[in-house]
Structure 1
Amino acid sequence: MSDKSRKVAIIGGGPTGIGVARELIEGGIEVDLFETEADFGGVWNGDAPCGRTYRSLHLISPKFNTQVPDFPMPEDYPPYPDHHQMLAYIRSYAKAFGIYERAHFNADVESLTKEADGWRLKTRAGHDARYPLVVVANGLQRVPRYPDPAYPGEFDGEILHVRDYKSADQCRDKRVLVVGGGNSGCDVAVDAVRTAVCVHHSTRRGYYYQPKFIAGKPTPQWMMELGNKFATKEETLAYIEEVFRLAGYDGTDYGLPKPDYPLDAAHPVMNSLLLYHIGHGDIAPKGDIARFEGKTVHFRDGSSAEFDLILYATGYRRDFPFLDASLLEWKGAIPDLFLHSTPRNLDDILFMGFINAAGGLGDGLKTQGQFVLMYARAWFGKTPGLERFLAAKKTDAPDLGQTHFIDSYRHQWEADLWKLLAHMRRYREMLAEGAPDLKGEAAQ
């Protein structure tokens, strides 16, 4: 076993893993990055088991705030790039900042074991080393989650989770029921229309549906440009809702239930075509499922229909198969992480990328990476700033907007992006107290 006494191990080669690696490398911190697959990409690596892409998939966040600010996407990319373009961008990012040279591919982490002075990391490829600091970035979309408790009865047709959805060919000539109202459920329902005999879409609540463009601009950009046009947040949200309604994106106009929460209290559903297809009869909206009986699905409203295929778009659960779960403190079904990243009871491991927020990748990726860099500098320097932060994370309860969001499994790790970034910057400044510039040391 080798001893990497001044090195950080990063587990995961998706966008967050390479984003953290870039900041650490540029800040003078040595890294080893371990990726299960043969190349970078994470959920965008459609040819690998970790990929969550399908043939027609495009981003739901626009180019302008998905790209990292100092590494823009190519000018010929459209406002909403497709998954091939996103994968190419991620890999070009890794290449530009020397991350390939620090990566171990086909290196599935088998175990991460706590030791007195760090973590012993072993991979199935034969790596065996001790690291003083580990960053876990193996992604949110790991293990499919199904309705819990399960619906009564047995369904005799085909069952798929969106994890395994690759193209509309899987729906060809089938009667399809899509279960789940998030972005994946809506996008897949729209995609299935092209080949299925019929498509039904089952959701448990009302949703706000946002078009991808308003006034010729990506909707998030249009929202940002509203700035301080209105005196209060409530006036701003009311204006946005009215614009959406006039543009034809009020679900109640199509017979769907009215949301029982404010517009900004749930992760946005960005889809320009779901309501269009409902209005044309291509997608039949349904409420929650009551029970299964052979190929017949009975719904809570008393109706029923027969289906050949059920597609569950019901999310994922966090999974750290290499780590003893009892080492972490848990809050319900997810680890209790300060700033959604830092265990309160462990100081030498960070979990990055385990958060949902209404915004693009770029700003969050940069800020998270710089937080990890400052933490690593403080950790290796055993600085006064580190001592302040370790004390603060046990007692502080920064407002991340958590109580504003609806009560659902996926919203347990939803955050107000701007509040989160502001707090990460504040605690980063705390960590900076007395932290050495390791990049300068490395150059000497």
Structure 2
Amino acid sequence: MTARTAPLLVIGGGQAGLSTAHTARTLGLAPVVLEAGDRPAGSWPHYYDSLTLFSPARRSALPGSSFPGNPDRYPARDEVVAYLAGYAARLDADIRTGHRVERITRTEGVFEAVTAAGDVVAAPLVIAATGAFSRPHRPPLPGLDAFSGTVLHASDYRRPEPFAGKRVVVVGGGNSAVQIAIELAAVADVTLATRRPLRFMPQRIAGRDVHIWLWRTGLDTAGWARPLLAGGKATPVMDTGTYRTAIASGNPDRRPLFVRLDGEDAVWEGGVREHVDVVLLATGYRPDAGYLAGLGALDEHGTPLQRAGVSTTVPGLGYVGLEWQRSFASATLRGVGADARHVLTRLRRAAGHAGTGA
């Protein structure tokens, strides 16, 4: 089996992989990008229909290409997919869709990636850019596995109509959980169940989007800001006031997480039981980097062992697109470019790369 060689191999052709490819070209490297899907859009085509960005278009662009249209609007899911497709088409990079990487090995300083179809690409440097949103997280909630109703993850949710008239419990307290619960509440009886009280962050401050202020103050890209923006608190929900008003009205109602699920019932604190048709888990995602398992690059939970995107166990391996990889913006359209430059610069320096790659 003959391997195609490249100076840099990028796994994943979504926002993290495309920004990495762009940055690599500015550094003189000719990357090969392997994307499992049929188009270079990452997870975006699989999100729910009504999803819009939580940051305005002017703060939602990849390096080298502004987001088209009104810079103060909040682009919808399909606009992001189209933006990524256009970005990929303009890149001077070898992007191969339909190439799912199954495993990566490393011998004498050279990585070899083997795809599901048996193709092999070899490179001295690898960036795992499959991001933080490729593996839906299903927490071990009491009784969940034996629940006789329907259990869905937010990754399976598309639109509210199929849930009309049903009793739905949405589990989660982040932006997507709140947005989905409020959308479902128009057609169903919905409870938003969270471990902690909801934490709202104003979408606009003094007439400007909060992301503009985060950028101007440097908090958006400051690693030290994590305790301030996240810490042990609930994930902040961006809100113009609409979400807070809807929750305060009781439609949907917000409750502490149920004690357990039992058959077709949810058992709440105090022993109150009620029938539930659907439990929808808006409980986030985890990195899907199983193709790195044989390298010793992951911990026992499959989480990358890394510092600021550089592997702490495997020389020549880096990551782009992980949540809080370096900052609040790390897993976002606006943040992946800076992280890609940081990681590539350090990997090349460690490997002694001074010239260009072709």
User: TM-score surpassing 0.5?
Assistant: yes
2:97 is equivalent to residue 129 of structure 1: no
Name the CA distance, whole Å, in 2 between partners of 1:263 and 1:27: 32
CA contact (8 A) 1:9 1:32 kept: yes
The 3-state SS of whatever aligns with 1:274 is helix
Q: In structure 1, which of residues 300, 318, 323 is the aligned counterpart of residue 287 of structure 2?
A: 318
Within 5 A, what are the aligned runs for 1:17-166? Answer: 17-44=17-44, 46=45, 51=46, 53-68=47-62, 70-76=64-70, 78-99=72-93, 102-148=94-140, 150-151=142-143, 154-166=146-158
The 3-state SS of whatever aligns with 1:324 is helix
Aligned position for 2:236: 268
The structure-2 alpha-carbon separation of the partners of 1:343 and 1:18, relative to structure 1 and needing over 3 Å to count, comes to: same
The 3-state SS of whatever aligns with 1:438 is coil
2:196 is equivalent to residue 205 of structure 1: yes
1:369-413: per-residue Cα shift (whole Å, max 9, x none)?
Answer: 22244245435xx43xxxxxxxxxxxxxxxxxxxxxxxxxxxxxx
Q: In structure 2, which of residues 333, 341, 358 is the aligned counterpart of residue 370 of structure 1?
A: 341
The structure-2 alpha-carbon separation of the partners of 1:437 and 1:129, relative to structure 1 and needing over 3 Å to count, comes to: closer
Instruction: Tell me by how many angstroms 1:78 deviates.
Output: 4.8
Aligned position for 2:254: 285
Q: In structure 2, which of residues 178, 185, 193 is the aligned counterpart of residue 186 of structure 1?
A: 178
Residue identity in the other structure for 1:358: F
The structure-2 alpha-carbon separation of the partners of 1:377 and 1:281, relative to structure 1 and needing over 3 Å to count, comes to: closer
CA contact (8 A) 2:295 2:314 kept: no
Instruction: Tell me by how many angstroms 1:58 deviates.
Output: 0.4
1:407-442: per-residue Cα shift (whole Å, max 9, x none)?
Answer: xxxxxxxxxxxxxxxxxxxxxxxxxxxx52427xx6
The structure-2 alpha-carbon separation of the partners of 1:121 and 1:320, relative to structure 1 and needing over 3 Å to count, comes to: same
Aligned position for 1:307: 276
The structure-2 alpha-carbon separation of the partners of 1:334 and 1:150, relative to structure 1 and needing over 3 Å to count, comes to: farther
CA contact (8 A) 1:5 1:131 kept: yes
Name the CA distance, whole Å, in 2 between partners of 1:226 and 1:134: 33
The 3-state SS of whatever aligns with 1:187 is helix
Structure 1's consecutive aligned runs of 4 or more residues displaced over 6 angstroms after TM superposition are none
Residue identity in the other structure for 2:113: L
Within 5 A, what are the aligned runs for 1:271-420? Answer: 271-272=239-240, 273-324=242-293, 327-328=296-297, 330=299, 334-339=303-308, 341-356=309-324, 357-359=327-329, 361=332, 363-375=334-346, 377-378=348-349, 382-383=351-352
Instruction: Tell me by how many angstroms 1:226 deviates.
Output: 7.2
Instruction: Tell me by how many angstroms 1:27 deviates.
Output: 2.0
Instruction: Tell me by how many angstroms 1:97 deviates.
Output: 2.4
The structure-2 alpha-carbon separation of the partners of 1:55 and 1:153, relative to structure 1 and needing over 3 Å to count, comes to: closer
How many residue pairs end up in the alignment?
Answer: 347
CA contact (8 A) 1:337 1:344 kept: yes
Residue identity in the other structure for 1:297: A
2:5 is equivalent to residue 10 of structure 1: no
The structure-2 alpha-carbon separation of the partners of 1:369 and 1:29, relative to structure 1 and needing over 3 Å to count, comes to: same
Instruction: Tell me by how many angstroms 1:319 deviates.
Output: 2.4
The 3-state SS of whatever aligns with 1:354 is coil
Greater shift, 173-182 or 363-372, is seen at 363-372
The structure-2 alpha-carbon separation of the partners of 1:93 and 1:153, relative to structure 1 and needing over 3 Å to count, comes to: closer
Residue identity in the other structure for 2:245: Y
Instruction: Tell me by how many angstroms 1:183 deviates.
Output: 1.6
CA contact (8 A) 1:152 1:290 kept: no
Residue identity in the other structure for 2:296: L
Q: TM-score, normalised by structure 1?
A: 0.71
Name the CA distance, whole Å, in 1 between partners of 2:256 and 2:134: 27
Which structure's CA Rg is the greater one?
1
Q: TM-score, normalised by structure 2?
A: 0.86
Name the CA distance, whole Å, in 2 between partners of 1:227 and 1:11: 30
Aligned position for 1:246: none
Instruction: Tell me by how many angstroms 1:12 deviates.
Output: 0.2
The 3-state SS of whatever aligns with 1:113 is strand
Instruction: Tell me by how many angstroms 1:315 deviates.
Output: 1.9
Instruction: Tell me by how many angstroms 1:189 deviates.
Output: 0.6
Residue identity in the other structure for 1:12: G
Residue identity in the other structure for 2:340: G
CA contact (8 A) 1:60 1:270 kept: yes
Aligned position for 1:396: none
1:18-57: per-residue Cα shift (whole Å, max 9, x none)?
Answer: 000011123221211101111111111x2xxxx2x11111
CA contact (8 A) 2:5 2:121 kept: no
The 3-state SS of whatever aligns with 2:43 is helix
The structure-2 alpha-carbon separation of the partners of 1:301 and 1:91, relative to structure 1 and needing over 3 Å to count, comes to: farther
1:106-136: per-residue Cα shift (whole Å, max 9, x none)?
Answer: 1111221222231121112331232211111
The 3-state SS of whatever aligns with 1:9 is strand
Measured on the aligned residues, the alpha-carbon RMSD in Å equals 2.8
Name the CA distance, whole Å, in 2 between partners of 1:282 and 1:327: 48
- In structure 1, the gaps of 5 or more residues are 234-260, 384-434
CA contact (8 A) 2:56 2:71 kept: no
Q: In structure 1, which of residues 217, 221, 237 is the aligned counterpart of residue 208 of structure 2?
A: 217
Name the CA distance, whole Å, in 2 between partners of 1:359 and 1:349: 21
The structure-2 alpha-carbon separation of the partners of 1:364 and 1:4, relative to structure 1 and needing over 3 Å to count, comes to: same
The structure-2 alpha-carbon separation of the partners of 1:184 and 1:227, relative to structure 1 and needing over 3 Å to count, comes to: closer
Residue identity in the other structure for 1:42: G
